[in-house]
Structure 1
Amino acid sequence: MYLDRFNLKARVAVVTGGGQGIGLACVEALLEAGAHVYIADSNPKAAAEGQAAMKVKGYVPEVIEMEVTDSKQVDAAAARVMKEKGRIDILVCNAGIARSEAAAEDVTDEHWLNVIDVNLNGLFWCCRAFGRHMLAAGRGSIVNIGSMSGVIVNKPQPQANYNASKAAVHHLTKSLAAEWGARGVRVNAVAPTYINTPLTAFAKTNKPMFDAWIDGTPMARIGEPDEIAAVVMFLASDAASLMTGSIVLADGGYTCW
């Protein structure tokens, strides 16, 4: 009874930024659970490499080249999935950027707008485009990738733009959940700690920063992409059928201190 709730057989999923890192781990988790998965990525090389990595493991995800900041591309991607599969059951909004280490007073307009455009606007375009089809069908699960940075202010790196974008993602998640819950569409978010991905690779050459990250984490380590993907798979599945509007912290205890 309980394990069956994790079964995603015959479901159709789309993962933005799915070519690498957390996104690719989510692709693999959903594939393993039985879903048919599209890797939606603005980087054709990363998408192709991610697809190839999954084929080695016996899976065959499809690829959609899509820039989340272009709402027309997002709408077209949603239309393509509906045309090809006739349904959209799961959306994982993972695409995001950081651009940290700039003091707030030194952040340019371009710098600020770029982070907000990808992390917040792009995420909303995706929720809106794919969510419309879910609402029409009366079913669906959206999982947004937020951050513990939407809950606390990180140190020692200054990143007001990133923190603000992820706090907005969390509140948008709750807002959509409140609007769409009675119509069969659940919307939740995962708020990770520092994860071992290309996004955090810069810290490995900055020992004081990396040490501060570890010292601030009760588990004394950063996370791995599969640890976030496991939470995403749960939220996407019927095992989380009573959950909507939840922001699930997966932070190694970082926000405890």
Structure 2
Amino acid sequence: MSTIAQRFIKDVALVTGAGSGIGEAAARRFAAEGAAVAVIDINATAATQVAQSIVDAGGRASAYSADVRSAQSLDEAVATITKEYGEITVVFTAAGVAGSKIPSHELPDDAWFGVLDINLTGTFFTIRAALPSMLRGGGGSIVTCGSTSSFVATLGGGMAPYRASKGGVKMLTQTLAMEYASKGIRVNCVCPGAVVTGLKQNTATLVPAGVTDSALQVAGGNKLTVPMGRYGEVNEIASVAAFLASSDASYITGQSLLVDGGVTAE
């Protein structure tokens, strides 16, 4: 399928949010490096299309429709995955939403929980579902998806649920890393800045759908200043997730790696 390194030739990789955006890019990257990929998304059609395109390109992948807000949905998906491919060794939790820019004093309960239930609880549910399989298999690597909002709260209101959820993902990552280090499971977090996805779920900055030129997007009126002069691309985030999941990062756990074009260095 690819001439790039085959770091995951013996691995089974579970990727949530894999029907589009960063999750899709990561699923393709893991497959290109030899993994059997479980493409999980709430959108069954999108998951099927991604999995089929991976297979058509010579890779190994199957689609699974699951809602990360539902522990039962994830448990059922994991049971099917392990029957098809064996024990899970890699997990990347890319499912997420940004939510709405509603001032905190006006924020309804459903807007709060709508973000937390996917970004934070969904991350935990995914990992919890996969952990028994990983423990049976002798270990593996988990990569969560944080954000620059895991570290900083920039000017501007209305992002309390998103920022709280991503801060929680960072601490969940550190906690699980400590809890499972002795079991051979590493847990790290990739923290993107603004990324061109055509969607809203992978960045705190609302990215206009259909815009694909990252330099033009920054120049087109967004107030976020990126020192590198452009937004990130999904493949740039996927490559970092693949690094953290691979044996190249074998002595790294509990870390949150910013991939933001220098935004948080200012």
Query: How far off is 1:210 after superposition?
Result: 4.5
Distance 2:109 2:9 in 1: 45
Q: Given the superposition, is the C-alpha separation of residues 41 and 204 from structure 1 closer, same or farther in structure 2, using an over 3 Å criterion?
A: closer
The residue type paired with residue 251 of structure 1 is: D
AA of the residue aligned to 1:232:
A
Q: Which residue of 1 aligns with 2:253?
A: 244
CA distance in 2, matches of 1:9, 1:39: 17
Matched, 1:219 2:231: no
CA contact (8 A) 2:190 2:241 kept: yes
Contact residue 52 and residue 61 of structure 2 kept, 8 A: no
Taking the aligned partners of 2:147 and 2:221, their CA distance within structure 1 comes to 17
Matched-pair identity in %: 36
CA contact (8 A) 2:52 2:62 kept: no
CA RMSD of aligned residues (A): 2.2
State the secondary structure of the residue aligned to 1:141. strand
TM-score scaled by length of structure 2: 0.88
Contact 2:51 2:62 in 1 (8 A): yes
* Equivalent-residue separation in structure 2 for 1:55 and 1:44 (angstroms): 16
Q: How many Å separate the matches in 2 of 1:155 and 1:222?
A: 19
* Contact 1:40–1:66 (Cα < 8 Å) also in 2: yes
Q: Does 1:160 align with 2:160?
A: yes
Q: Deviation string for 1:112-131 (max 9, x for gaps)?
A: 01100000111101111101
- Structure that is richer in helix per residue: 1
Kindly state the Cα deviation for residue 74 of structure 1 after the two structures are TM-superposed.
0.8
Per the alignment, residue 195 of structure 1 pairs with 195
State which drifts further: 165-174 or 103-112: 103-112
Q: Which runs of 5+ in 2 are unaligned?
A: 210-216
How far is the alpha carbon of 1:256 from its aligned partner? 1.0
The 3 A distance-change label for structure 1 pair 208 and 155 is: farther
Deviations, residues 132-190 of structure 1 (Å, cap 9, x unaligned): 22123221100001111111113445301100000000000000000000110010000
Alpha-carbon distance change, 111 to 80 in structure 1, aligned in 2, over 3 angstroms: same
* CA distance in 2: counterparts of 1:175 and 1:118, whole angstroms: 19
Structure 1 residues 48-97: Cα deviation after superposition (integer angstroms, max 9, x where no partner):
23234434533342101111100011111111122222211101001011
Residue-pair matches, total? 252
